[in-house]
Chains A and B, each alone.
Chain A
Amino acid sequence: MENKRRLFALITPPSVFLLFFFMVPLVIMALYTLKASSFGPLLPFSFTAFENFFSNPSYFVLLLNSSRLALLTAVLSILLAYPVAYYLVFYTGARRVMLLTLLILPAWISYLLRVLAWKVILGSEGLLNQLLIQAGLIQDGAPILLYSQAAVLITLVYVWIPFAALPIFAAMERIDPRLHEAAADLGASPSVTFWRVTFPLTMPGVASAFFFVFIPTLGEWVTPTLVGGVSGIMYGNLIQDQFGRALNWPLGALMSMVLLVLVGVFSYIFNRFIPITEVPVSS
């Protein structure tokens, strides 16, 4: 009884906060998809937003493109981060954490500022363009690297490498070095050891890296706005647009719900393999 009261006192404030500012908004947003327009009353329900959304294939194309870009971003950042995690864990000894911190320091610097840096580098008068001109590879003012899908991809990969590196590093660090010795004793070559011992054991890290890069990238709209231009916009820009210029909140709410469902499905599948929320109870 006493215990119950204590638990109640601990769990009520966070639950109430989550209910009012997390669950309720999502429910209201779901209802909002049935509104006739941004400013009218909720009733009677209207399916205008649904008709609008499902009759316009370009929304799906953009969602598909954004998923592909998010997938590419996640895969590339993992591919770039994996070798460095491997090097740090298996070759650098005690200095590894220091070396890792040095590497991932940029991750703690404002997201917007890191994107700004790439705007400066990839811009039409930017560093990369100048370099290419000086190297004689392109003529003056030739390809404008800024405002393309490639610019979005480069910037996103840059932004996410540290976040991909961390979980992979953590998973690798947990590998018992005796396993490698055992593999070698049993006659496995280094590459066999890697593919049959190290790689499988780092899979949970790779999976969380994938998840934590893929999901936020799917909803990304800031980077595309700054470096993407017309050809670089993503699904998140659609949502932002409905609440900004287009002022079609019901459609924006529906687009958000679609993204939410998609993320929910991914999270569910992911959670079946790696439960991120598991916390043991000690009593």
Chain B
Amino acid sequence: MRQTGKWLGLGYYLLLLLFLQLPILLLIVFSFNDSVLLVFPLKGFTLQWYRELLQATELINAAKNSLIIGVVSSVVATVLGGAAAIAIARYNFPGREFFLNIATLPLVIPYVVLAVALLILFQALKVELNLWTIMIGHTIINMPYVMLIVAARLSGFANNLEEAAMDLGATYWGTLMRVTLPISMPALVAAFLSSFTMSFDEFSLAFFLAGTQNTLPVYLYSQLRFPSRLPLAVTTAAVVIMVSVVILLFSEWLRRLGAGRPKV
């Protein structure tokens, strides 16, 4: 009975694994295929698309924009979300529930709604759309994740470490810098990295809030309409996939490191 279950389960696991990974592998395979058409049988091995990728200035520019937006919005989200996390994990204040509700609302709002709301705001304020407008959007969606990750970490530690530091004569801000922040560090790093990946991938907000400068997903989206540009999009996909996997394995490793809390 248990043995059958085990084999059935393994079979199902492998099937699902195949279903989930095959499309990704397909993109990688086609990135080396010597044809404009994405069909089987494969024509032959080529690095042509990768060479073209290096010369696609628009694409490289878009990737750079994504990188800048990702870093800046994640830093801002980590600072703001981290501060909010310390406040909600360490203080019981009037309006705490209200603040939590508002601050976590971006988790459940469809991005298209947030995107058009910000678009309307910027239009009403006559703010020209540029990389900053995308950064603001990405910061809003990443803040609640940061806040929840960091608050979960902090609530795993009683605040008696902080109290001890202050009893020993540390100032509050000294304690914050030398006790609270180090405690939160694994969560902060994990939150930063997941924010960055989210921002790097995010399409809907970037689509509405991009002015003349594209992010990588917006650029890719614009290319998907032209069949002749598909191989290059697929090759970009292959590169992004490989980079994402490396970044995510690293952040997962960090998260695990942070999850092993010392007993206090």
* Central interface residue in A15, A113, A118, by most chain B CB within 10 Å: A113
Asked whether A22 lies within 8 Å of B112 as measured between CB atoms, the reply is no
* Central interface residue in B99, B137, B234, B241, by most chain A CB within 10 Å: B241
Asked whether B110 lies within 8 Å of A14 as measured between CB atoms, the reply is no
Chain A residues 218 to 241 lying within 8 A of chain B, measured CB to CB, are: 218-222, 226, 236, 239-240
Partner of B108, one of A22, A26, A215: A215
Per-residue contact bits, chain B 119-134, to A (CB 8 Å; 1 contact, 0 not): 1110010000000000
Stretch in B54-62, B83-91, B184-192 with 4+ CB within 8 Å of A: B83-91
Would you call B50 an interface residue if the criterion is a C-beta within 8 Å of the partner chain's C-beta atoms?
Answer: no
Asked whether B117 lies within 8 Å of A86 as measured between CB atoms, the reply is no
Say what secondary structure dominates the interface of chain B.
helix
Asked whether B110 lies within 8 Å of A259 as measured between CB atoms, the reply is yes
Would you call A249 an interface residue if the criterion is a C-beta within 8 Å of the partner chain's C-beta atoms?
Answer: yes
Partner of B154, one of A105, A120, A190, A282: A282
* Central interface residue in B23, B37, B112, B248, by most chain A CB within 10 Å: B112
Stretch in A50-58, A124-132, A143-151, A195-203 with 4+ CB within 8 Å of B: A124-132
B206 nearest CB across to chain A (Å): 10
Partner of A267, one of B99, B108, B111, B151: B108
Asked whether B91 lies within 8 Å of A260 as measured between CB atoms, the reply is no
In the complex, what residue of chain A is closest to B124 when comparing beta carbons? Answer: A28
Partner of B13, one of A103, A279, A280, A283: A103
Asked whether A282 lies within 8 Å of B158 as measured between CB atoms, the reply is yes
| A18-B140, A103-B16, A281-B92 known; A117 vs B111 contact (CB < 8 Å) | no
Would you call B109 an interface residue if the criterion is a C-beta within 8 Å of the partner chain's C-beta atoms?
Answer: yes
Would you call B263 an interface residue if the criterion is a C-beta within 8 Å of the partner chain's C-beta atoms?
Answer: no
Residues on B lying within 8 angstroms of A by beta carbon are 1, 5-6, 9-10, 12-13, 16-17, 19-21, 23-24, 26-27, 30, 37-40, 79-81, 83-84, 86-93, 96, 99-114, 116-121, 124, 136-137, 139-140, 143, 147-148, 151-152, 154-155, 157-159, 172, 197, 200-201, 203-204, 208, 217, 220-221, 224, 233-234, 237, 240-241, 244-245, 248, 252
Pull 23 A–B residue pairs with CB atoms less than 8 Å apart, ordered by A. Answer: A11-B87, A13-B80, A15-B84, A18-B143, A28-B117, A29-B116, A91-B6, A110-B220, A110-B240, A111-B217, A112-B217, A113-B240, A114-B24, A117-B26, A120-B30, A123-B38, A125-B39, A222-B221, A256-B116, A259-B110, A263-B110, A281-B155, A282-B89
Residues on A lying within 8 angstroms of B by beta carbon are 2-3, 6-7, 10-11, 13-15, 17-18, 21-26, 28-29, 32, 80, 83-84, 86-88, 91, 99, 101-106, 108-114, 116-121, 123, 125-127, 130, 158, 161-162, 190, 211, 215-216, 218-222, 226, 236, 239-240, 243, 249, 252-253, 256, 259-260, 263, 267, 276-277, 279-283
